[in-house]
A and B are shown apart, each in its own frame.
Chain A
Amino acid sequence: MTGETRYADDLVLPRMAHAKLLRSSHAHARIRGIDTTRARALPGVLAVITGADLPRVRFGILPVSQDEEALCTEKVRMVGDAVAAVAAVDEETAEQACRLIDVAWEPLPALMSIEESLAHPEVRIHEYGDGPNVHKSVALQFGDVEAAFARADLVREDTFYYEGSTHLPLEQHAAVAHWGPDGKLTLWSSTQTPHYVHRLLAKILDVPAAHVRVVAAPVGGGFGGKLDPFAHEIAACHLSRLTGRPVKIALTREEVFYVHRGRHPVLMWLKTGFTRQGDITGCHIKTWLDGGAYGSYGVASTFYTGVINPVSYKMPVYKFEGARIFTNKPPCGPKRGHGTPQPRFALEVQLDRAAEQLGLDPAAMRRRIVTEPFTKTANHLTVTTTGLAECIDRVVEASGWRTKWRGWRAGEAPSEKKRGVGLACSAYMTGAGTAIYWNAMPHSGVVLRADRSGAVALLCGATDIGQGSDSILASFAAEVLGIALKDVHVHPADTTLTPVDLGSYSSRVTLMCGMATIQAAERLRGAIFEAVAKKLEVAPGALVARGGRVGVPEDWDTAVPFAQAVELGEAMHGVLAFPGSYAPPRRAGKYKGGGVGPSPCYSYTASVVDLSVDEETGEIELHDVWIAHDVGRALNPLLVEGQVEGSVYMGIGEALMEEQVFRKGLHKTPSMLDYKSPTTLETPDIHTILVETDDPEGPFGAKEAGQGPLLPIMPAIANAVYHAVGVRIDEVPITPDKILRALEARRRGKPARVGPEKLPLFAFKEPVVVESAFGQPADAVVVRPFQAERLA
């Protein structure tokens, strides 16, 4: 660590002003009036704005959920909603001015849980949706689940609750806006999606998109928390327009808790039929998501609580019902694993229980039911390669599972601290198959320009959020062109300079922007080869590019240095600048909702956790985590291991301590001291095993690594706790208090369990019934849009 990276908050421009937002202190209230007179009178204040000063435009990241205002005009829906903004000569003055803004509030009843929101249809948080306080309700059915349960030897019904959590990036959101004298706006921001921010800023500020430039500053941790357009960005832009100065705004940690867009709390009911051997006959899941105050990515999140589970195991028949409920809390959205950790927790804990009832080794049972490569799932998703079986084998082997697990251990004598192991698996997408707004254009674009110096400039819309995508894209160009990594210069995420990339989300950049980079590099190489072939009087097909030279392998002495090859190319073709484009294969299921879930390919993970539980205090001590991840191909093993370890660490926080607790309408712990997230000292030894399957859809065979490895951690811990002390904690976080309560229940002869006892009374709509596509062969290698020439 050198501290050299310049984040958005490090930018300093001449005459720069500083801005602060006034945020709501009510969870739900009508705004009767806002008086900014006293704030405006404060010396040093340059401008004060409210929603009345902005175009009356509602916005949201998804076209179906346009429900946000940068500065609320009529009512606020959570503590932390922004209602006014101040630009001043310094941050202290801006903050002081915010305290001088008088807002007349008319408090409304605050609905702080799924149950409260459903119980009070007369209190409406929003006027739109699929029912009072119901943002979205979905129901999909693939095949006949009742018949599948009738065929089963064992049918289990279990309920689970997954607490919400926040991303907790080290970098708090910051932005600098500059509305220049030429009437053009530039916004530097810590964002994972400069393209979407670009589109939405134009709409929200009512200015031509052609005069808006969004530059993604290096992001100091995103995890999904910097994927929406935010009030602070919009306010900074407008304040810059008013003051004629650059305006910086940097959120406090507490404000980051209000911006949120984190993990949805989800209540779940899961019913699965099993044969005696452990095969799944069918599965039915119901999910209720606590969405918070706004839509954000919530419609997608709702689908994701249902659609990915069938990718890991054979589920011939599948039914999914889900509903997202509005509450007066910070809006939930896409946190690492987006909507899938919750149902994964439910499925993997239920599998463990089924294995016990059937007397099966839970590792062997899972090993038996992994999906077949190059087949379709019940819900029409295409599985290409899957290394899940190998992942299970490798963690079983490495962890010494067979000696540690030793059967279900019923009737073992209790001792104070008991040790247990648990296993769980998962699957995750390598990039979403569809864009957020419907279009037929590329999802990722790259322009490569070769310089006479031998350097290559790589212009890409993608944002490096710490995962290392800049270096991976550079390495693709270097690999194809046979030049040193250092000779590639990456210029990312600047909407006036770089082609569109949809953003750093859904684990899409290495695959999508990578494929575009490879295409551009191959085109550049083709042009260079043509020119070098002419000089060397050989066929272009005889040439190779490696070690910084272009030539014929059998006659390497005549090989031309790359810089000279570029000159030859430029002399022949003019400027050497080539685009690359990528869009995923069009594989969306032909039913309403079929657009959520498809991906070019899926990653797979298996994990074993070894821990001890203190039966007197309920405290859990993690000893080791073994994790095997099918990454397709590890292009930079160190980066992949970093992503896997980071995922494990984040999963441990969700499993053991992170909670979004609200009291009197307020977040109870909006600080890094009080919101409990583990540190390196709470992180056990992590043993990472990389499994390679060389997927034909991925760049050089690679699949994702940044999200999937989080998924098995929570259920593996829950299963290990059961193995250690025989209690089921069917909700996260698994706290010492819950363990003591479950042990106490067992002593009293009650079920040794802590988890949800009842489910909301909620009528899902009639499901869309579609035939199961389970087991159908995957379509032959699909021609990808914009990439036909690569197959020719």
Chain B
Amino acid sequence: MMRLPPFTYVAARTLAEAAAALAEHGADAMLVAGGTDLYPNMKRRQFEPKVLVGLRGIRELAGVRGSAREGLTLGAGTTLAAVAAHREIVTHYPALATAAGLVSSPQLRNMGTLGGNVCVDTRCNYYNQSFEWRRAIGFCMKKDGDVCLVAPGSPRCWAVSSSDTAPALVSLGAAVRLVGGGGERTVPLAALYHDDGIEYLAKRRDEIVTDILLPPVDGWRSAYLKLRRRGSFDFPVLGVAVAARLEGAVVRDARIVLGAVASRPRLAEKAAAALVGRRLTPELIAAVAELAAGPSKPLDNTDFTHPYRKKVTRVFVARALRALGGLGDAGRAVEAIA
């Protein structure tokens, strides 16, 4: 079987303990919460940390506080299953509840956390392979090598942002609180990401994501659609999150965010702007879907062909907008949450 490399596990009981352990071990240390992504990657030697700082035992990281009227604060350690089932989230932030409920399988949603999914490693089918496989094909720049095997002329890594919750949260205008290095800061979630497959997080090594902050719901509606081969447990190869504030049929504000088509959640700003001040008609939806597919530039490094993922972007944006406008069938990609 594939075995984990040896490591020391530090079971932190408080945020301060965790931050201290991170500071002490520096580049040798990594954070782990649910471990659903990190441990399989360690078995394949994508990561070989000497120290893992475990966040599972930190009570202050778990749980949801606040209300939709005032805004919610979600502890980063809240499990995806809890996020997906939380009544306030299901009712008022459906894009997030849907996205959390579509991550992997029930077992992994019971272990995996919101913070973990927000920070989940970027993926690429040249990278998420065993050490022997990667050695056979020639290592890539994300681990052990110096070229990008998807785009060999490229100076950067094109691994794909594969979080379901990140595009949903960005569409909802969420912010993230980071603690570490002797202080704390809160930034818009969109600012947590770089469009780079390796340096995809704008988070310092000594920082810990502690909370996700959702703004007051204030009339916003939202939806999330996910493309993948198997509804049972696959990572997204396209995620479409759409949030909009409507007055009657007129859109007052909107955000469209695409997941799994770049190294970060990709805002389709032109498409969103085209919605504002307009009535949500089938004609407008078709035009906006076309605009939104523009920034969708998938490469051949996930499941399904990349031209297909691009084609479906248009379909999903239109379906999400139809769902928000109450314009009938949104297609089967909006999956029921158990």
- Chain A interface (Cβ < 8 Å from any Cβ of B): 23, 25-26, 79, 91-92, 95, 172, 250, 252-254, 416-417, 614, 616-619, 621, 657, 663-666, 668-671, 673-674, 676, 678-682, 735-737, 740
Contact = CB atoms under 8 A, between A and B. Distances in A.
Nearest to A678: B230
Contact of A254 (B125, B133, B304): B133
A494 to B, nearest CB: 26
30 contacts: A91-B1, A91-B3, A95-B3, A252-B130, A253-B2, A254-B130, A254-B132, A416-B329, A416-B331, A417-B331, A617-B227, A617-B312, A617-B315, A619-B332, A619-B333, A657-B230, A665-B136, A666-B136, A666-B137, A668-B125, A673-B233, A673-B235, A676-B230, A676-B234, A676-B303, A678-B230, A679-B232, A681-B231, A735-B304, A740-B311
A108 to B, nearest CB: 15
B128 interface: yes
Contacts of A617: 227, 312, 315, 331, 333
Given A250-B1, A252-B130, A676 B311 contact: no
Contact of A621 (B233, B234, B311, B332): B332
Contact of B231 (A91, A95, A665, A682): A682
Interface in B33-80: none
Nearest to B131: A99
Contacts of A92: 3
Contacts of B234: 673, 676
B338 to A, nearest CB: 10
B305 interface: yes
B40 to A, nearest CB: 8
Nearest to B315: A616
B303 A679 contact: no
Interface in B173-188: none
Interface string B206-236: 0000000000000000000001011111110
A736 B235 CA distance: 17
A25 B308 CA distance: 31
B59 to A, nearest CB: 32
Contacts of A618: 308
A753 B41 CA distance: 40
A26 B133 CA distance: 10
A452 B125 CA distance: 63
A43 B1 CA distance: 21
Interface in B270-297: none
A754 to B, nearest CB: 13
B81 to A, nearest CB: 16
Contacts of B229: 657, 676
Interface in B1-22: 1-3
A252 B136 contact: no
B47 to A, nearest CB: 17
Among A617, A679, A682, the one with the most B-chain Cβ atoms within 10 Å of its Cβ is: A617
B87 interface: no
Contacts of A253: 2
A674 B308 CA distance: 18
B237 to A, nearest CB: 11
Nearest to B304: A737
Contacts of B307: 737
**Which 9 residue pairs of A and B lie closest in terms of their CB atoms, listed nearest first?**
A25-B136, A681-B232, A737-B308, A679-B232, A616-B315, A676-B229, A737-B305, A254-B130, A617-B312
A417 B319 CA distance: 13
Interface in B223-256: 227, 229-235
Contacts of A23: 132
A674 B135 CA distance: 19
A679 B230 contact: yes
Contacts of A26: 136
A559 B43 CA distance: 65
Contact of A679 (B1, B2, B135, B233): B233
Give chain A's interface secondary structure class.
loop
Interface string B305-325: 101100110010000000000
Given A23-B132, A25-B135, A666-B133, A252 B303 contact: no
Contacts of A616: 315, 331
Interface centre among B130, B133, B307, B333 (most CB of A within 10 A): B133
A670 B331 contact: no
Contacts of A666: 133, 136-137
Given A681-B231, A682-B230, A740-B311, 20 more contacts: A91-B3, A250-B1, A252-B2, A252-B130, A254-B133, A614-B331, A616-B331, A617-B312, A619-B333, A621-B332, A663-B137, A665-B136, A670-B130, A673-B235, A674-B303, A676-B230, A678-B230, A678-B232, A679-B233, A681-B232
Nearest to B311: A740
Contacts of B332: 417, 614, 619, 621
A252 B1 contact: yes
A23 B1 CA distance: 15
Contacts of B230: 657, 676, 678-679, 681-682
A461 to B, nearest CB: 30
A1 to B, nearest CB: 15
Contacts of B133: 254, 666, 670
Given A25-B136, A617-B331, A737-B305, A669 B231 contact: no
Contacts of A95: 3
Contacts of B333: 617, 619
Nearest to A682: B230
A225 to B, nearest CB: 18
A42 to B, nearest CB: 16
Contacts of A736: 304, 308
A25 B130 CA distance: 12
Contact of B125 (A250, A669, A737): A669
Nearest to B40: A673
A771 B303 CA distance: 50
Interface string B137-156: 10000000000000000000
Contacts of A680: 232
Interface in B156-212: none
Contacts of B311: 740
Contacts of A673: 128, 233-235
A22 to B, nearest CB: 9
A127 B109 CA distance: 53
A663 B307 CA distance: 18
B187 to A, nearest CB: 32
Residue from B135, B234, B315 with most neighbouring chain A CB atoms (10 Å): B315
Nearest to B126: A663
Nearest to A736: B308
Contacts of A682: 230-232
Contacts of A664: 137
A253 B227 CA distance: 26
A95 B131 CA distance: 11
B228 to A, nearest CB: 9
B154 to A, nearest CB: 17
A418 to B, nearest CB: 13
B320 to A, nearest CB: 13
Nearest to B316: A617
Nearest to A26: B136
